[in-house]
Amino acid sequence: MEIALTAVRPDSPDGLTALRAYAGELARRWPERAPEPEWSEEFLADDPMALAPPSGIFVVARQGERVVGCAGLRFEGADVPPGAGEVKRMWVDPAIRGQGLGRRLLAHITDLAREAGLRRLVLDTAEDLAEARALYVREGFVETGPYNANPYAHHWFTRDLW
């Protein structure tokens, strides 16, 4: 079945479904650092509108009626370097991982960043998200020093767009 990528508001029904699934997966991976259900609600309350225009874009992947992935691009923020966009909230439903949706979401976000005139992308990720790190390296990101103080991040990446 075809998977459609659509920009939505993070507080829309599809946006919240995706963000809850993303937060739920992190909580399952990090039970000691992200106890449910409090952590997911705190996560959702952590300025989700930073991924809404004009501050950013949030893209949801739908397969039929089901939300199966998401990715965000943040334009503004004290910890986003000048001329850069930050990739945020990348998630693919575990049931369809390995089928190229992560690569497709990242390519779509990269295209949106170029259209917005950004010169590079940055992102951070956790130590145990090895699949995500491998994807970023395959897609041309290089590991760099920290650009923010995210307490969950252990790796920071950048990719020039021009």
Q: Which CATH number does the domain housing residue 28 bear?
A: 3.40.630.30
pLDDT digits (tens, 9 = 90+) for 66-120: 999 999 999 967 789 999 999 999 999 999 999 999 999 999 999 999 999 999 9
How many domains would you assign to the chain?
1
Helix axes 13-29, 38-45, angle to 10 degrees: 130
Q: pTM of this prediction?
A: 0.91
Query: What was the pLDDT predicted at 150?
Result: 85
User: Does a structural domain hold residue 143?
Assistant: no
- Are the CB atoms for 56 and 50 separated by under 8 Å? yes
User: Does a structural domain hold residue 9?
Assistant: yes
The token duo for 62 is 């739908």
User: Does a structural domain hold residue 47?
Assistant: yes
User: Does a structural domain hold residue 129?
Assistant: no
Nearest residue to 71 via CA among 126, 112, 120: 112
- Other beta carbons within 10 angstroms of residue 63's beta carbon come to 16
**What percent of the chain has pLDDT above 70?**
89
Query: What was the pLDDT predicted at 35?
Result: 61
- Domain containing residue 85: 3-119
Query: What was the pLDDT predicted at 128?
Result: 85
Query: What was the pLDDT predicted at 90?
Result: 94
What distance lies between CA 19 and its chain's CA centroid?
10
